[in-house]
């Protein structure tokens, strides 16, 4: 029996990976989706939509952190933000994704660190 080789996927390099909760339980219905829908324009305006500073992003239907949302996670640092309003999203983009400094007053969890 011969199995056909599955091609190995590839992905363009990126600096950050943003996951935005678009589910209805952690914030006002539709708020997460509206933020997610604005991400491409905001990342492009910040100059982090391509090249080595590129921020990749996707939506998730639920993180299981169902209060204080919308909720967003930034990888690879494992930084979880709550109360991601349009204004707070602008701060996160400017200070964290561009400036490499987490917006500490909006962080509610940080994942495991190396070392």
pLDDT in tens, 74-111: 999 999 999 999 999 999 999 999 999 999 999 999 98
CA distance linking residue 104 with residue 83, whole number of Å: 12
| 57 closest CA partner among 37, 77, 28, 80 | 37
Per-residue confidence band for 22, with pLDDT thresholds at 50, 70 and 90: very high
Q: Are 79 and 85 in contact (CB under 8 A)?
A: no
pLDDT value for 7 = 93
The predicted model gives 53-67 an average pLDDT of 90
Dihedral, CA atoms, 107, 108, 112, 115, nearest 10 degrees?
50
Q: According to CATH, what is the number of the domain 16-110?
A: 3.40.30.10
Q: Are 103 and 92 in contact (CB under 8 A)?
A: yes
Domain boundaries, the chain: 16-110
pLDDT value for 1 = 59
């Amino acid at each position: 029996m011969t199995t056909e080789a599955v091609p190995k996927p590839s992905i363009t390099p990126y600096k950050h990976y943003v996951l935005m909760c678009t589910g209805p339980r952690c914030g006002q219905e539709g708020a997460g989706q509206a933020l997610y829908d604005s991400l491409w324009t905001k990342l492009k305006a910040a100059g982090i939509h391509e090249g080595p500073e590129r921020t990749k992003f996707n939506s998730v239907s639920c993180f299981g952190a169902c209060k204080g949302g919308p909720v967003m996670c930034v990888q690879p640092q494992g930084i979880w933000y709550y109360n991601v309003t349009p204004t707070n999203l602008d701060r996160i983009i400017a200070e964290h994704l561009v400036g490499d400094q987490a917006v500490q007053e909006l962080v509610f969890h940080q994942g495991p660190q190396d070392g």
